[in-house]
A and B are shown apart, each in its own frame.
Chain A
Amino acid sequence: MATAPTSLTIFSYQVGFGDCFLLRFAYADGPRHLLIDFGTTKLPAAAPKDQMVLVARDIADKCSEGGLTAIVATHRHADHISGFATKADGSGSGDIIRALAPKLVLQPWTEAPDEAIDSLGPIVDSTGKRSMANRLAGLNAMHRISAQVLGMLEGQSLSRAAPEVRDQLAFLGEDNLSNASAVRNLMTMGAERVYAYHGCDAGLADLLPGVETIVLGPPTLRQTETIKKQKSRDPDEYWHLSAAALDSDATLAEEDQSLFPGHDAFRASKLPMETRWFAKRVDDARAGQLLSLVRSLDQQMNNTSLILLFEVGGKKLLFPGDAQIENWRYALNSEFASKLDDVDLYKVGHHGSLNATPKSMWNRFRKRGGEKQKGRLKTMLSTMPGKHGHEKDNTEVPRRTLLKDLEDKSELHSTHLLEPDALYQEVTIEF
Chain B
Amino acid sequence: MSRLSNTRKLTILAQDPAVRLGGRLTFAEVDVPAEILASGPTGYRVKVVDYDASSRLLYQDKIDHEPVNGEFKDPFARAPEEDDPQYEQRLLGNPNFHAQNVYAIVMRTLARFEFALGRRVAWSFGGHQLNVAPHAFSEANAFYSEEDKGLFFGYFDGITGRVFTCLSHDVVAHETTHALLDGLRTGFTELSGPDQSAFHEAFADVVALLSIFSLPQIVAALLDSDFRPPREGSEVRLIDGRRLEPKALRETSLMALAEQFGREIQNVHGDALRRSVMIEPARDVLSRMEYQEAHARGEVLAAAMMRTFLDLWDRRIRELGTFGDNQYNLDMVIEEGAKAADHLLTMAIRALDYCPPVDIDFRAFLAAALTADAELIPGDKYGYRDSLREAFASYGIDPPEEGCLAADGTWCPFDRTVPISYASTNFESMLRDKEEVFRFIWENRVALGIEVRGVIEVESVRPSVRQGLDGFFLKETIVTYIQRADLFGAEVGAILSCDRPEGLPTTQRITAFGGGVLVFDQYGQIKYHITHRLNDAKRQFARLEYLWETGQTNAGLRGARDRFAGLHRARAED
Q: Interface on B for A, CB 8 Å cutoff? A: 42, 47, 49, 51-60, 62, 93-96, 131, 133, 135-141, 145, 148-150, 152, 154-157, 162, 265, 267-268, 270, 289-290, 292-293, 296, 503, 505, 546, 549-551, 557, 559, 561-562, 565-566, 569, 572-574
Does any Cβ of B come within 8 Å of A246's Cβ?
yes
Say which one of A39-47, A71-79, A211-219, A232-240 lies at the interface with B. Answer: A232-240
Are A285 and B58 touching (Cβ within 8 A)? no
Instruction: Say yes or no: B139 contacts A245, CB within 8 Å.
Output: yes
Give me 30 A-to-B residue pairs in the complex whose CB atoms sit less than 8 angstroms apart, sorted by A's number: A127-B270, A157-B54, A228-B289, A233-B574, A238-B268, A238-B572, A238-B573, A240-B267, A248-B54, A249-B139, A252-B54, A259-B52, A259-B155, A263-B60, A264-B60, A266-B60, A267-B57, A268-B56, A275-B49, A278-B148, A279-B49, A282-B49, A282-B133, A285-B137, A286-B136, A288-B565, A289-B139, A289-B141, A289-B565, A292-B562
Which residue of chain B lies nearest to A296 when distances are taken between CB atoms in the complex?
Answer: B569
Q: A265 an interface residue at 8 Å Cβ cutoff? A: yes
A238 to chain B, nearest CB (A): 4
The answer to whether the Cβ of A359 comes within 8 Å of any Cβ in the partner chain is yes
A156 close to B (CB within 8 Å): yes
Q: Which residues of A contact B57 (CB under 8 A)?
A: 258-259, 265-268
Nearest-neighbour CB distance to chain A for B217, whole angstroms, equals 28
In the complex, A298 has a CB within 8 A of chain B = no
A54 to chain B, nearest CB (A): 40
Q: Closest A-chain residue to B297, C-beta based? A: A230
Shortest CB distance A28–B (Å): 44
B51 contacts A248, C-beta separation under 8 Å: no
Identify which of A156, A282, A325 contacts B51 (C-beta below 8 A).
Answer: A282
Interface contact A285-B55, CB-CB below 8 Å: no
> Interface SS of chain A: helix, strand, loop or mixed?
helix
Shortest distance from the beta carbon of A178 to any chain B beta carbon, whole Å: 22
Whole-angstrom CA separation of A230 from B570 in the bound complex:
12
A271/B138 in contact, CB under 8 A = no
| B131 and A260 contacting across the interface, CB-CB below 8 Å | no
Q: Which residues of A contact B133 (CB under 8 A)?
A: 278, 282
Q: A248-B162, A282-B133, A282-B137 are in contact. Are A265 and B60 (CB under 8 A)?
A: yes
Query: Is B505 within 8 A of A359, CB to CB?
Result: yes
* A248:B131 contact, CB within 8 angstroms: no
B108 to chain A, nearest CB (A): 22
Are A265 and B136 within 8 A (Cβ)? Answer: no
A409 CB to nearest B CB, Å? 14
* A373 interface contact, C-beta 8 A: no
Q: Which residues of A contact B55 (CB under 8 A)?
A: 252-253, 256-259
A417 at the B interface (CB under 8 A):
no
State A231–B559 Cα separation when bound (angstroms): 25
Query: Given the complex of chains A and B, what is the CA–CA distance between A322 and B155 in angstroms?
Result: 34
Closest to B56 in A: A268
Provide the residues of chain A in CB contact with B562, threshold 8 Å: 288, 292
A326 interface hit (Cβ, 8 Å): yes
By beta carbon, the residue of chain A nearest B138 is A249
Knowing A231-B290, A282-B49, say if A271 contacts B131 (CB, 8 Å): no
Choose one: A241, A256, A258; the contact of B268 (CB below 8 Å). Answer: A241
A247 at the interface (CB under 8 A from B): yes
In chain A between 268 and 290, which residues have their CB closer than 8 angstroms to a CB of chain B?
268, 271-272, 274-275, 278-279, 281-286, 288-289
Shortest beta-carbon distance, B388 to chain A, in Å? 28
Known: A230-B289, A266-B57. 14 other contacts (CB 8 A): A156-B56, A230-B293, A238-B573, A245-B138, A256-B56, A257-B55, A258-B55, A265-B57, A275-B49, A281-B148, A282-B53, A286-B53, A288-B561, A360-B503
Bound: A363/B505 CA distance, A: 9
Residue A394 interfacial (CB < 8 Å)? yes
- CA A259 – CA B164 in complex, angstroms? 11
Residues of A within 8 A of B546 (CB): 229
A186 to chain B, nearest CB (A): 28
Contact of B292 among A229, A242, A244, A329 (CB under 8 A): A229
3 shortest interchain CB distances as A-B pairs: A249-B138, A286-B53, A231-B290
CB of A393 closer than 8 Å to a CB of B: yes
State how many angstroms separate the Cβ of B131 from the closest Cβ of chain A: 4
Closest to A284 in B: B148
Nearest to A237 among chain B residues (CB) is: B268
CB distance from A261 to the nearest CB of B (A): 9
Q: Take A238-B268, A260-B93, A265-B59 as given contacts and tell me if A285 and B156 are in contact as well, using a CB distance cutoff of 8 Å.
A: no
Q: Within the assembled complex, what's the spacing in Å between the Cα atoms of A325 and B559? A: 20
Chain B, residue nearest A288 (CB): B561
Cα of A237 to Cα of B140 in the assembled complex, Å: 13
CA distance A393 to B60 in the complex (A): 38
A403 to chain B, nearest CB (A): 18
How far, in angstroms, from A247 to B139 measured CA to CA in the complex? 10
Q: Evaluate contact between B152 and A285: CB separation under 8 angstroms.
A: yes
Residue of A nearest to B155 (CB): A259
Complex: A286 Cα to B94 Cα, angstroms: 23
Contact partner, A285, options B56, B148, B550, Cβ 8 Å: B148
B-side contacts of A238, CB under 8 Å = 268, 572-573
Docked pose: A274 CA to B58 CA in angstroms: 12
Contact B574 A241 (CB under 8 A): no
Assembled-state Cα–Cα distance A268/B59 (Å): 11
Instruction: Choose one: A231, A257, A259; the contact of B95 (CB below 8 Å).
Output: A259
Smallest distance from the beta carbon of A298 to chain B beta carbons, Å? Answer: 15
For B149, list chain A residues within 8 Å (CB): 278, 281
Beta-carbon nearest neighbor of A245 in chain B: B156
Chain B residue numbers with a CB within 8 Å of A244 are 156-157
Q: Roughly how many angstroms separate A289 CA and B561 CA in the complex, as a whole number?
A: 9
Closest A residue to B57 by beta carbon equals A265
Q: 1/0 contact trace for A339-361 toward B, CB 8 Å? A: 00000000000000000000110
- Known A275-B58, A282-B51, A286-B54: A246·B140 in contact at CB below 8 Å: no
By a CB distance below 8 angstroms, the chain A residues around B152 are 282, 285
Docked-complex contact B157 and A253, CB < 8 angstroms: no
**A246-B138, A282-B137 given as contacts; is B569 within 8 A of A271 (CB)?**
no
CB within 8 Å for A252 and B138 given contacts A237-B267, A241-B265, A260-B94: yes
Q: A245-B157, A260-B95 are in contact. Are A292 and B138 (CB under 8 A)?
A: no
Closest to B47 in A: A278
A126 to B, closest residue via Cβ:
B290
A247/B157 in contact, CB under 8 A: yes
Find out whether the CB atom of B268 lies under 8 angstroms from the CB atom of A281. Answer: no
Q: How far is the CA of A156 from the CA of B136 in the complex (A)?
A: 17
Q: Smallest distance from the beta carbon of A177 to chain B beta carbons, Å?
A: 21
Separation of A283 and B52 alpha carbons in the complex (Å) = 8
| Bound CA span A230–B562, Å | 20
B137 touches A265 (CB 8 A): no
| A residues less than 8 Å from B62 (CB atoms) | 263-264
A328 CB to nearest B CB, Å? 10
A247 CB contacts on chain B under 8 angstroms = 157
The residue that B145 contacts in the complex, of A266, A285, A329, with Cβ under 8 A, is: A285
A258 to B562 CA separation, bound complex (whole angstroms): 28
Most buried by A among B62, B96, B156, B293: B156
Inter-chain contacts of A260 with B (CB < 8 A)? 59, 93-95
- Note all chain B residues with C-beta closer than 8 A to A278: 47, 49, 51, 131, 133, 148-150
A97 to B133, CA, bound (A): 53
